[in-house]
Structure 1
Amino acid sequence: MSGEGPSLRERRRAETQRMIQSHAMRLFTEHGYDATTVNHVARASGVSTMTVYRHFPTKEDLVLHDRYDPLIAARVAARPADEPLVRRIGRTLVETTREVVGPAGDAPGARSAPEKDLLLARLRLMMDTPALRARHLDGQFATQKAIVDALLGDAPDPEAEFRTWVAASTCLAAMYVALMRWAHEDGRPDLPGLIAAALGDAFDDDFGDALG
């Protein structure tokens, strides 16, 4: 029924995906992306190679797959309709990232979150692996499209669609620069703060109120 949480089957699928991806990231980090095969990942995960491919159609997906696009799209759509586009998108990116990485390092309750560690490992691999950098561009386009579709619906006005694509692509480009700096600095800075600063520089606006 709609409105209910994920089914048992969906939860089990998500758990299997997380388990396989965790083993894959460990192997990629320990042995290198190119030296690790999908067969290696399957053996480490205790599943068949076909099971890995059912969850991750390509080797690159083992690194780049995440669950954030639907979440970001839903949250952007839920923000007040009279809010400027770049603030609807930018604030959502900052707030969602805060949930992923947790409080800033000097804030009460700050800790090393598993999602934060996974994100940092993925970014490091992406920076070092040309094939992953190329696939990341596809992923960024998919995120842009999810945001645009969530904001405009099925039959957008061409001018509104153009403005929304510009806003989404610029916000995500600013976020990408912040992610790269965060990874280069080994995850030490506060990532949501970096994203807010990058958005502020891009749009000459203050996104610090989204830091929470």
Structure 2
Amino acid sequence: MCGRIELTLTEGMQDTLRDLFQIDPSWPTQPEISPTQQAHFLTHGDTWTLQSGRWGLIPPGLELPAAKKYATFNARAETLDRSPSFKAAFKSGGRCVLPLSAFFEWPKKNKVRIARPDDKPLLVAGLWSAQPPGEGKLLSCTVITRPPTDDLAGVHDRMPALLLTRDLDAWLNAPAPEAKAVALGSWRPGLVTVTPTS
């Protein structure tokens, strides 16, 4: 599970995002984002586009009141291709990338912050949707999760599907089986640090 994320970009993180995506990453600081709040995500067509939407995907055919009945802020990578809530976005151009400075977990009820120690942002596989189609559409997104790498196994039994930059294109554009494999296997142990928050 991933239930709290952070978007507090250092100058180094901004430089990385600017170089990777050709965007202006000078966004408002969001020290702790919870499900149903607004989260930033990046989509790719001819160019990269930064968007902001409700953290909690609104599946096709549902409007917000109905979607609120479901916990759609996380999507398991293992079942993306068959989940009623997520398969349409996964298979039909709804993949995205969420840039984060960190995410939070509560092992043994003690809150920890998980981030890269090298002043680089985390890039997380995600899905997005615009519902209902047409004017007045509401944008929404979800964070893909996967089993933890060995170094995070003691923190939680799930983690965000973090992406190495070399795998961004495959996540966004590859056929579903390859994209699913990237979400499950792109990240490797030893790239983040776990720091108690108090």
Q: If each structure's strand is expressed as a fraction of its own residues, which one has the higher value?
A: 2
Larger Rg belongs to:
1
* Structure with the larger helix share: 1
Structure with more relative contact order (C-alpha pairs < 8 Å, separation 6 or more): 2
Fold-level match, TM-score > 0.5?
no
